[in-house]
Structure 1
Amino acid sequence: MAKRTAIIDIGSNSARLVIFEKTSRYGFHLICEQKSKVRIGEGAYEKEGHLQPIGIQRAFLTLKSFLHTIQKYQAHKTLCVATSALRDAPNGKFFVQWIQSELGLAIKIIDGNKEARYGAIAVNNLLPIHEGITIDIGGGSSDMALIQKGQLFDTYSLNLGTVRLKELFFDKEMPLCEINQKAKAYIADELKKLPKHFKHSLAIGIGGTARTLSKGIMKQCNHPLDKLHAFTYNANRHKAYLENIPLSSAKNLKKFGLKKNRYDTIREGTLIFNEILAFIGAQSVITSSVGVREGVFLEQLLREDNLKFPYTINPSITSILDRFNPLDNIEKKKKSKLKIASKLYTKLQIDIKDEQQYESELLWAVKLSSIGKTLTIYKSHQHAFYIAMQELNYGFTHEQMLLTSLLLRMHGKELLNKPLFQSFEPLLPQKQTLLWLSFIYTLTVFLHEASNSANIEFTYHNKTLLITSDRPLYLAKEKIKALEKPVPFAIIIEDESKVPKNKELGIYQ
């Protein structure tokens, strides 16, 4: 697969460009993202679906600009897909031919099921989910996929879109209650076509409408982490908020904490979203910042892996290690470091008593413990924290992202950064558990840095942690001696710390 791949997604409302760079077989990251609200479908739904000149002109100029960006970034491969506005338009094929002739860009028009499939590929790999129903509300259609046991089970596309509803109902001179009533009836008729097995308690929100609503809910509930991907909320708890948006006038939308650039279609999108949530029986919603574009990319990347990352691979961890290239990024040393942490966590369970439920986060932090040194060895723990907070995007819950990042922030003798703990406390483990995890992480780093691949074992009995090593741990001893402990206990180190005799220097032992 090409090292840099550009993906263009032409929707009814917006056109987007993303460029991904591969860092290894399974590592990749986003290096460019551009968006233009082309509204290519504007006026089409009242003209029997025909694309109108105003939308066509905006789309042409946007695509021309995208191609200049792709050239600047020297992308090796470009894939362009178009969704409902072009597939519904009788003159859509003529637009595709015209763009090919004028710009040399090949556009692939995909149907709603293919669109839903791409979204499902993206979330199935890049969200911490194994089951659920994706909901991607576009300008002309709402595309859905049912995921069961980590596999794509079925897809369906409904003729429900924000621009479609806007032009059919919300742009009419009618009272809002009447608009909502007629629009709901229209949505209900379309939802009857959805297969009966499209029922699940978890809805996966893809696309602009779902993201906009999640941002508003994050503000309302003062969510401590400013990250949209994987944000999860209870649908019933925020039902009143969601139901009031379609009933609001355009002027009063600001009270919902929504972005102004979404005012033109958010009422329509929210109404569709609410009706779908109720129809499928969703109780909670997880937000996705990935969708069709990532799905198109991953279909290429994972074509030899049954469209799924191997269970041992997390693309964010892989990409971070690829790019920041820590000094100990050698498989043997990584494994030795992980073994130290795992052994400690197991031995100390007699006091921790958490059934090692945070072992994944602990081991992720241990894997990433050296990434800050790539920037500078000074305050490297702070650099590691900021890198992780920005880059731990895929496959993690917000709780996992925060715990892993916060462990990386630990340094020296103190086990807790109090301001950070207070800021993110609602998403973190209990304080005592966090102290234990921090202790294990920090002790692991100290031992690994000083051990030179030693064989290290642990016993914990009668409030005494015994550390035995077949190599010297001299450089770690002073640090360990000063290290804060979660509870009072002794640490004894038995290692190969022998000094050869020298009579001239007065050394006899």
Structure 2
Amino acid sequence: MTHSVPTFSTQWQPKGRSSSSEPILAAIDIGTNSVHMVVVKIQPTLPAFTIVAREKETVRLGDRDPKTGHLKPEVMAASIAALGRFQEIALLSNAAEIVAVATSATREAPNGRDFLQQIQDKLGLEVSLISGQEEARRIYLGILSGMEFNNQPHIAIDIGGGSTELILGDSYEPRSLSSTKVGAVRLTSKFVSTDPISSKDFQYLRAYIRGKLERPVEDLQAYLHPGEEPRLVGTSGTIQCLAKIHAAQTTGTIPNSLQGYELSRDNLHEILKKLRKLTYEERIQVPGVSERRGEILVAGALILQEAMELLDIESISICERSLREGLIVDWMPDRGLVEERLFYQSSVRRLSTLQIAQKYQVNLQYAQRVAQFALTLFDRTQGQLHHWQDSERQLLWTAALLHNCGLFVSHSAHHKHSYYLIHNSELLGYTETEVESIANLARYHRKSLPKKKHEPYNNLPKLQQQIVEELSALLRLAVALDRRQIGAIEQLQCQYIPHLKELHLTLFPSIPDDPCELELWSLDYKKEAFETQFGATVVAKVSR
């Protein structure tokens, strides 16, 4: 399926010191639990953005005066100090502009607007107070910038300190947006009086959460079409913390990226069953749990468990992008950088891959030729030599486009450098396992074949190992077809002859008299992996 990319303009000129070709923007979210900032470099030619810095400070604005509901003076002072520090970081990053919003705690506090005026007076920073619905809309935009929905229904849940947002969408405008006053800080402050939490407090808290979530869940489900089975996407510190706990328990390590990490309802139930029996001091000893998160984690985990039960969904997939990234997406059309806020869903994976290719100075014309050859080989052998589908085809495309990115480090062993660069890059739209598969595919485009003694390959699940083995064999042939990196082959015809067990490749040169001897030699040199893997002989000729 092809997607058009919306048009964009580069007429906007930044107000700060950043380059007009790649403006830098900072986005700040003043939440109930924490103040967050993300600094991004915008690449108008794609158009897309790359995250260059993240900052967070836990300030607990939600810890308000229990009698008046006012934000406490000391908490406001701590928040303003954090914002001042963020401003300095944004300045050092050459940010042209800072976009800032405040959410649940500030909008509910009687002195919330006074707090925002203090920020304006002391820092010169203008902060917008947004509604729960508007918060949910921008969370949706942030998620769409980092995860492909493929036009299928997804429910997104964001568990904050003061509220929980539920969103239903399918790549287009959101079908349902809701914000409910159940948050990890709010509920801990209101209902948790024992440590560890008593059975009475736990059951009361559970009943309260369920009562609050039943209506928004029913409203959301009313927008589902008959037969639809939506996936659940989770974003927020609470959900990421639970994923870290699970990863540490099951693998012994916490992954660098949680993007696409899957956590089942059963996993969550087991984690919560253990957490509720622990004291605060014991909780913060659990791998993946920070000191401030440990205070509110039981309430946050219970919100997620009740939401999953009400939605009757068995697993949740983590997305690391949320409100702050949504502020960036929302800002870009207003500056003429893109025409459509939802353009990321035309191809999150494509944009992200091109960003990384640009970052590591990949020869894009050459890489695109290799990618096209790889896809032609994939398509012409599908159903005969392999049975991989579109998801694996996309892995091959990305690996083909990035296979030579290791040249950015060094020509020597550049296939190994490609692995490490891809492994440590922010490849959006892919799960951690898929990113690892792409990195391995790039690593095996030359030199040795996949081996059990190679730790990155050996750590892959069995199915992913098979993907790497078979698709890297196709990638090797594709690389051979542009051996001189000059586009010597204009067109490739590919046909598998089952009774002969032969793959016939007919090469049509760009220059009619070119014998393409180097390409034929390279094919002969690289075909061993393919022939061994598929049990088929490669027969190549140049068409005159």
TM-score normalised over the length of structure 2: 0.84
Distance 1:169 1:109, change over 3 A: same
Q: What is residue 501 of structure 1 aligned with on the other side?
A: none
SS at match of 1:309: helix
SS at match of 1:449: coil
Is the 2:450–2:457 contact (alpha carbons within 8 Å) kept by the matching residues of 1?
no
2:506 to 468, 471, 485: 468
SS at match of 2:515: coil
Alpha-carbon RMSD across the aligned residues, in angstroms, is 2.6
Q: Kindly state the Cα deviation for residue 41 of structure 1 after the two structures are TM-superposed.
A: 2.5
Is the 2:157–2:164 contact (alpha carbons within 8 Å) kept by the matching residues of 1?
yes
Segment drifting more, 482-491 vs 60-69: 482-491
* Structure 2 unaligned residues grouped into runs of 5+: 1-11, 15-22, 222-228
Report the residue type matching 1:472 in the other structure.
P
2:136 to 101, 112, 116: 116
Provide the C-alpha distance between the structure 2 equivalents of 1:26 and 1:379, rounded to a whole number of angstroms: 32
Q: Kindly state the Cα deviation for residue 248 of structure 1 after the two structures are TM-superposed.
A: 2.9
- For 1:85-120, what per-residue CA distance to the aligned partner results, in whole angstroms no more than 9, with x for missing partners? 100110010111111111100011111111111111
Is 1:319 matched with 2:352?
no
Is 1:252 matched with 2:274?
no
Q: What is residue 73 of structure 2 aligned with on the other side?
A: 53
Distance 1:428 1:223, change over 3 A: farther
SS at match of 1:264: helix
SS at match of 1:265: helix
Is 1:101 matched with 2:101?
no
Report the residue type matching 1:221 in the other structure.
T
SS at match of 1:388: helix
Q: Map 1:159-238 to 2 at 5 A.
A: 159-171=181-193, 176-194=198-216, 196-199=218-221, 202-222=231-251, 226-238=256-268
Distance 1:427 1:253, change over 3 A: farther
Provide the C-alpha distance between the structure 2 equivalents of 1:211 and 1:301, rounded to a whole number of angstroms: 27
Is 1:131 matched with 2:153?
yes
How many residues align? The count is 492
Distance 1:143 1:52, change over 3 A: same
Is 1:32 matched with 2:68?
no
Q: What is residue 418 of structure 2 aligned with on the other side?
A: 384
- For 1:307-334, what per-residue CA distance to the aligned partner results, in whole angstroms no more than 9, with x for missing partners? 232624533112112222212x13xx55
Is the 2:101–2:128 contact (alpha carbons within 8 Å) kept by the matching residues of 1?
yes
Provide the C-alpha distance between the structure 2 equivalents of 1:362 and 1:41, rounded to a whole number of angstroms: 47
SS at match of 2:63: coil
SS at match of 1:135: strand
SS at match of 2:538: strand
Segment drifting more, 102-111 vs 441-450: 441-450
- For 1:155-206, what per-residue CA distance to the aligned partner results, in whole angstroms no more than 9, with x for missing partners? 1111111221121122458961121122223223322442514346532211
1:341 to 374, 384, 387: 374
Report the residue type matching 1:16 in the other structure.
H
Q: Kindly state the Cα deviation for residue 459 of structure 1 after the two structures are TM-superposed.
A: 3.3
Q: What is residue 290 of structure 1 aligned with on the other side?
A: 321
Q: What is residue 224 of structure 2 aligned with on the other side?
A: none
Provide the C-alpha distance between the structure 2 equivalents of 1:320 and 1:89, rounded to a whole number of angstroms: 43
SS at match of 1:305: coil
Is the 1:80–1:106 contact (alpha carbons within 8 Å) kept by the matching residues of 2?
yes
Is the 2:451–2:458 contact (alpha carbons within 8 Å) kept by the matching residues of 1?
no
SS at match of 1:377: coil
Is 1:147 matched with 2:176?
no
SS at match of 2:482: helix
Is the 1:245–1:270 contact (alpha carbons within 8 Å) kept by the matching residues of 2?
no
Distance 1:245 1:167, change over 3 A: same
Is the 1:8–1:81 contact (alpha carbons within 8 Å) kept by the matching residues of 2?
yes
Q: What is residue 539 of structure 2 aligned with on the other side?
A: 492
SS at match of 1:105: coil
Is the 1:372–1:382 contact (alpha carbons within 8 Å) kept by the matching residues of 2?
yes
Report the residue type matching 1:36 in the other structure.
E
Report the residue type matching 1:257 in the other structure.
P
Is the 2:172–2:342 contact (alpha carbons within 8 Å) kept by the matching residues of 1?
no
Segment drifting more, 464-473 vs 29-38: 464-473
Q: What is residue 458 of structure 1 aligned with on the other side?
A: 494
Q: What is residue 502 of structure 1 aligned with on the other side?
A: none
* Structure 1 unaligned residues grouped into runs of 5+: 498-509
Report the residue type matching 1:27 in the other structure.
A
Is the 1:450–1:476 contact (alpha carbons within 8 Å) kept by the matching residues of 2?
yes
Is the 1:201–1:284 contact (alpha carbons within 8 Å) kept by the matching residues of 2?
no
Distance 1:451 1:153, change over 3 A: same
Is the 1:198–1:280 contact (alpha carbons within 8 Å) kept by the matching residues of 2?
no
Q: What is residue 353 of structure 1 aligned with on the other side?
A: 386
Is 1:272 matched with 2:303?
yes
Provide the C-alpha distance between the structure 1 equivalents of 2:367 and 2:457, rounded to a whole number of angstroms: 32
Report the residue type matching 1:158 in the other structure.
T
Provide the C-alpha distance between the structure 2 equivalents of 1:339 and 1:201, rounded to a whole number of angstroms: 33
- For 1:341-367, what per-residue CA distance to the aligned partner results, in whole angstroms no more than 9, with x for missing partners? 122223334652315442111111112
Provide the C-alpha distance between the structure 1 equivalents of 2:257 and 2:347, rounded to a whole number of angstroms: 25
Is 1:65 matched with 2:85?
yes
Provide the C-alpha distance between the structure 1 equivalents of 2:196 and 2:411, rounded to a whole number of angstroms: 65
Is the 2:141–2:329 contact (alpha carbons within 8 Å) kept by the matching residues of 1?
yes
Is the 1:133–1:144 contact (alpha carbons within 8 Å) kept by the matching residues of 2?
yes
Q: What is residue 503 of structure 1 aligned with on the other side?
A: none
Q: Kindly state the Cα deviation for residue 126 of structure 1 after the two structures are TM-superposed.
A: 1.3
- Percent identity at matched positions? 24
Distance 1:175 1:196, change over 3 A: closer
Q: Kindly state the Cα deviation for residue 286 of structure 1 after the two structures are TM-superposed.
A: 0.6
Is the 2:161–2:184 contact (alpha carbons within 8 Å) kept by the matching residues of 1?
yes
SS at match of 1:117: helix
Q: Kindly state the Cα deviation for residue 81 of structure 1 after the two structures are TM-superposed.
A: 0.6
Is the 1:145–1:155 contact (alpha carbons within 8 Å) kept by the matching residues of 2?
yes
Q: What is residue 481 of structure 1 aligned with on the other side?
A: 524
Is the 2:31–2:104 contact (alpha carbons within 8 Å) kept by the matching residues of 1?
yes
Is the 1:27–1:318 contact (alpha carbons within 8 Å) kept by the matching residues of 2?
no
Distance 1:495 1:188, change over 3 A: closer
